[in-house]
Structure formats: C-alpha cells, structure tokens
Amino acid sequence: MDVNALLLELNPQGAYELRRDGYWLVWPEVDVRAMARLMRSREVRLATMTGTPAADGSLRVIYHWDVGAYLLNVETTATDGRLATIADILPAADWIEREIRDYYATEFVGRETTAPLMLRDTDAPGLFSRTSDVGHQTDPAETSRTTLATKDGESR
Amino acid sequence: MSKIPLGPFHPALEEPYKIEVTCTGETITDAEITVGFNFRGIEWLAERKNYTQGIALLERVCGICSNVHTMMFCRAVESIGAIEVPERAKYIRVVMAEAERLHSHLLWAGVACNLIGFETLFMTCFSLREQVMDVLEGISGNRVNYAMNRPGGVNRDITDPASVLAAIRTIADVTTKQLIPVLTTDPTVRARCAGVGILTREDAIAYGAVGPMARASGIDIDLRKSAPYEAYDQLSFDVPVRQEGDVFARIVIRALEILESCKLIEQAIEMMPVGPIAGGLFPTVPEGEACVRIEAPRGEVIYYMASNGTDMPARVRVRTPTFANMPTARVMALGQGLSDLALIQASIDPCYSCTDR
C-alpha cells in the first residue's frame, strides 16, 4: 500500500503528524462517509473508532485505519453529539458506533436503528457521560457498582 | 420459516452470548448476535484506577490472553512516556506472548476436535496445553494472571530456560506428528469443515476481521511482521495464509501457527541477551495520548490511552480481536445448514469476556 498516496488522496492539505504510534490528523470538518468510501475502495481496514471526551465537553471521535506498518488516526468532533454513520459503507463500524452511543450518547445519523451493544434495551445511552463524576473517590470501595446504582435509582 | 435462539445461556456455550438464527427449513437465512452479557465496564474502571492498579485490572479482560492486556497497557504507557524497554525484557515478552498463543490455539484446537468428534485428539490437545500452562507457571508463578509486565520491562526473569525449551520441543514434536496430520489431512475433518462458513476476502476487509480469521481469507496481515514490536524483528518465522476462507482454512492456519510459536520461543530463549529486565521505579506518565496494537492469539488488539499527567489515565479504550471478528458470524452463517452453526462460531475462536470487557 502506498501510504503517502493514500494520505494525499484523503486530504491533500492535511497536516499529518507521524508519531511513534502512527499518523495522526485532526480534521474537524472531515466528511466521514467520503472517507469511509475511499478507504473501502482502497481495501483499507477500519481497525476501530475511539470516543474520548474533550476538555470542552464535546466528544472527540478518532477513526483508526490500518495502513500497514502504521495506524492512520483521523480525529473529528461529534458536533452537538451527532456524527454521520459509516456502518452502511463499512459494516466493521456497526458495533463500534453502537458502543460509542452506549457510552457517550452520540447519535450516528443515518442509521435505521441503533440498538445498545453493551447495555440493556431499557438502559439510557451515555453511561460514561452520565457517570463521569462518579467513582473518582480515593477509596476504591467507593467506585463499586453500588454507587452507580444509587445514582441511577435502579438496581444493576 | 422459524426463529431459533441460541443462548445467552446454553450448555454448548462456555460464556454467555446470544445468536438468534432465522431458518427456512434447515437453512440459515439470517442471524442476529447479541453481546454485552459479560459487560464489566473495565474501560470506565480503568479511568478511576492509578496506573499500577490499572495493570491488575486490565489483566482481567481475558482469562486466556491476560498477558496480552498487561503488555498492551504497559506499551501504551511506554509510548506516551517514550520509555525504552531493555533488550532482555523484549525477548521475555515474546516468550510469554507466544506461550500464551500456544495456550490459546491448543485450547481452541481441543474444542474444535471435540466438536468434530475426535475425542482422543481433544485429550492430546489438552495434555499439550497443560504443558504450556506449566511453562507459564514456571516463568511467572501463575497459571492465569501472570503479572509479568510493567512499564519499562517485565517483573520476572526466565531463570530456567532449559525446562522451557524441553517443554516447547515436546509440544512441537507432538504437534508435528499427531495434531497437524489429523487436522490438515484427515478426510473426516475435511468433509466436515471444507466449504463451510466461508468468509470472503472482501467481507473480511469490510467487517474488519483480524488474526487467523483474516489470514484464512487470504489477507496477509500479522503485526509481528508488518509492524514488528518487542524482539519480533530479530526472529525468523512464517505467517501461514490460506485463500479458501472456510472453517477448514481457519483450522489449518491455527494448527500451523502452533509450530511457528514453538519456533519463536526456541529462538527467543536462545538469542536472549544478558542484561536488566526493567527500568527503575514506576515512571511518571506525562500528558499525551497513544494508540498501540499487537498481534494477540485471536488477532490484533488495540489500546488507546490518554493521559492528563496525573497518576490515572484519562481514557483507556480496548478493542479486542473477537469484537472485530464476531460480527462476521452473520455473513458466514447465511445459506449454511443449522447443524453447521456451532462449528462456524467455534471457528472464530470467540472470547465474549474480551468482547464485553
């Protein structure tokens, strides 16, 4: 795979940074569906996606692509908690999008349904967001699931 | 048309998960997989434990490839902190990783033999697996959670390399003389598994399949070769690849990989340099982020870690191989007979504990 050609084709103006662990690109305005279509046509595997809260409360979503010796990590932001789905282009994204919704309540626009993956059908999405201030006590016993149950008002 | 649920609790399943297949007659026309029954919130917990506690926590992601997860956690820390690992520790990590691959593959081969109906070969596989467990116990003092890794090296040296070599040579010998001939040439195995549960190369890429699953579908990927880590770039080994994409191809791949792991352990033991096995005190982890990956027994594992400079990671993300491989069960099952479903699932070598974390 010609990684340089792929990077140019993906974003000719992109300020790619080659770190110890792969290429990184912060690209807030990325068209994720166009990116997914390009990657599928070039037989580039979607390794995974990572949702991670930013300092301003938004959710950074990083698309990790396998480009051989390196990962290509493309970072964008879920504006207003929404991001276009790529699961219809790359089925590899189906479970990942469902899991990110489970943890951060991000809506992947364009999906017919987004069933919970790790949570139960009756659970509200956004488990990690809802409990972000829970469990940081110094006593490890306070990080137990009972704390969560108390907060949610239901048994777990 | 009928719907048949299997799981989440079923005598044939070691771990809880559910697959509901729609059948027309005996033919599967659709399949829906439900996971999450083992969800423990390990990523959530990891953000609330300090780095030392995190190693012990992440070791519990999986009961078979537990060493992989501590190695990944430590490698993520090492990547953020630009921490170098001593050469001897790199070789020890290879020995542990390959012994764990032997453990995983032999366990899987035993289960596969049992499913196919080879009771005696099942016993042979588990007997060999027991020897691998003894090797792991001899090195680490433990049989499941080895506590071998730390940022910047390993916790224990290999003090009796001769016993490791003797066990590995026995495993290689029995595998060559008994296991591989049966698994690769026996007409019963071939009749039961060839042409069953095909995953095409195109589907393998689209679904993001990894490890032996991908290699059995003609995709030549193995991070030990394509993105070498630890001491793998110093060692000689082959990466078996098959084009058929069926259950039989997955069996052959894993059987051949047992021998490759034996080769790697032998080389690592013989080439291991003298020297320290770790750095000094537990390092301070600076602010930063890293995404690391290695080739676990079931395929690529990915860890994303973000640090805000405190003694606890700000984010830990774990993507296990079964998480990537399990969705392929649906495409592999379509058009197959209901009686093939158990074999197709087993050919993934699934681990739901890993998947659900």
Q: Which of B91, B356, B89, B108 is nearest to B211 (CA)?
A: B108
- Residues with Cβ within 8 Å of A100's Cβ and at least 6 positions away in sequence, in order, are A49, A51, A59, A61, A106, A108
Give the Cα separation of A44 and A36 in Å (integer).
9
Residue B145 belongs to some domain of the structure: yes
**Residues of B contacting chain A (CB within 8 angstroms):** 35-36, 39, 41, 43-45, 48-49, 53, 79, 82, 205-208, 221, 226-227, 290-293, 300, 302, 304, 306, 314-315, 317, 319, 323-324, 326-327, 356
Cβ(B255)–Cβ(B118) under 8 Å?
A: no
Contact A118 B36 (CB under 8 A): yes
Q: How many separate helices (H) and strands (E) can be counted in chain A?
A: 5, 7
Per-10-residue mean pLDDT, chain B, length 357: 85 79 92 92 92 92 92 95 93 96 92 82 91 94 92 94 94 90 85 91 95 95 94 96 94 94 96 91 86 95 93 93 94 91 87 88
Enumerate the residues of chain B whose CB falls inside 8 A of the CB of residue A127.
Answer: 41, 44
Q: What is the pLDDT of residue A153?
A: 52
| pLDDT at position B326 | 93
CA distance A12 to chain B (A): 24
Of A22, A94, A95, the CB nearest to B291: A22
Residue B30 located in a structural domain = no
Task: Report whether pLDDT(A139) > 70.
Answer: no
Average pLDDT, chain A: 86
Nearest CA in chain B to A70: B227
- The confidence score (pLDDT) of residue A143 equals 46
Q: Tell me the backbone φ, ψ of residue B258, rounded to 5 degrees.
A: -60, -45
B330 belongs to a structural domain = no
Nearest to A20 among B44, B79, B205 (CB): B79
Single out the residue of A30, A4, A2, A25 nearest to residue A15, CA to CA: A25
- Bond prior to B8 in cis (omega within 30° of 0): yes
* Alpha carbon distance B323, B213 (integer Å): 12
B199, B328 contact by CB (below 8 A) = yes
> Which residue in the set B36, B206, B207 is minimally distant from A119, CB to CB?
B36
Nearest CA among B188, B179, B249, B238 for reference residue B214: B249
ipTM value of the model? 0.90
Q: How confident is the model at residue A31 (pLDDT cuts 50, 70, 90)?
A: very high
Contacting residues of B for A53, CB less than 8 Å apart: 315
Instruction: Please judge whether A52 and B317 are an interchain contact, meaning their C-beta atoms are less than 8 angstroms apart.
Output: yes
Partner-chain contact B39 A118, CB within 8 Å:
yes
Report, as an integer, the average pLDDT of A139-156: 47
- CA B88 to centroid of chain Cα atoms: 23
Q: Hey, what are B351's tokens?
A: 């681990």
Judging contacts by C-beta atoms under 8 Å, the chain A residues touching residue B39 are 118-119
- Please count the residue pairs, one from chain A and one from chain B, whose beta carbons lie less than 8 angstroms apart: 93
Q: Give the Cβ contact number of residue B25 at 10 Å.
A: 10
| B20 within some domain | no
Query: Which residues from chain A sit within 8 angstroms of residue B16, using beta carbons?
Result: none
Q: Which residue of A has its CA nearest to B47?
A: A136
The token pair at A33 is: 């569906």
- Number of compact structural domains in chain B: 1
Q: Å from B164 to nearest chain A CA?
A: 31
Residues 6+ apart with CB under 8 A from B120: none
Examine residue B331 and state whether it is found in any structural domain, yes or no. no
Residue A19 φ/ψ region, left for φ over 0, alpha for ψ in the -120 to 50 degree band, beta for the rest: beta
Would residue B277 count as lying in a domain?
yes
Q: Is residue B10 part of a domain?
A: no
* Pairing relationship of beta strands B27-34 and B18-24 according to DSSP bridges: antiparallel
Burial (Cβ within 10 Å: 0-12, 13-18, ≥19) of residue A55: exposed
Among A43, A48, A118, whose Cβ lies nearest the Cβ of B205? A43
Confidence of residue A147 (pLDDT cuts 50, 70, 90): very low
Give the best residue of A3, A37, A42, A50 to mutate against chain B (max B CB count within 10 A).
A50
Residue B23 included in any domain:
no
Q: By CB neighbour count within 10 A (0-12 exposed, 13-18 middle, 19+ buried), where does B333 fall?
A: buried
User: What distance in Å separates the CA atoms of residue B302 and residue B69, rounded to the nearest whole number?
Assistant: 10
Structure tokens belonging to residue B38: 């083992």
* Domains present along chain A, CATH in parentheses: 3-90 (3.30.460.80)
Give the domain CATH number at B117. Answer: 1.10.645.10
* Per-residue pLDDT, B322: 94
User: Which of B43, B206, B293 faces A40 most closely, judged by CB atoms?
Assistant: B206
Domain of B74, in residue numbers: 38-324
**At residue A137, does pLDDT exceed 80?**
no
* Other beta carbons less than 10 A from residue B113's beta carbon: 23
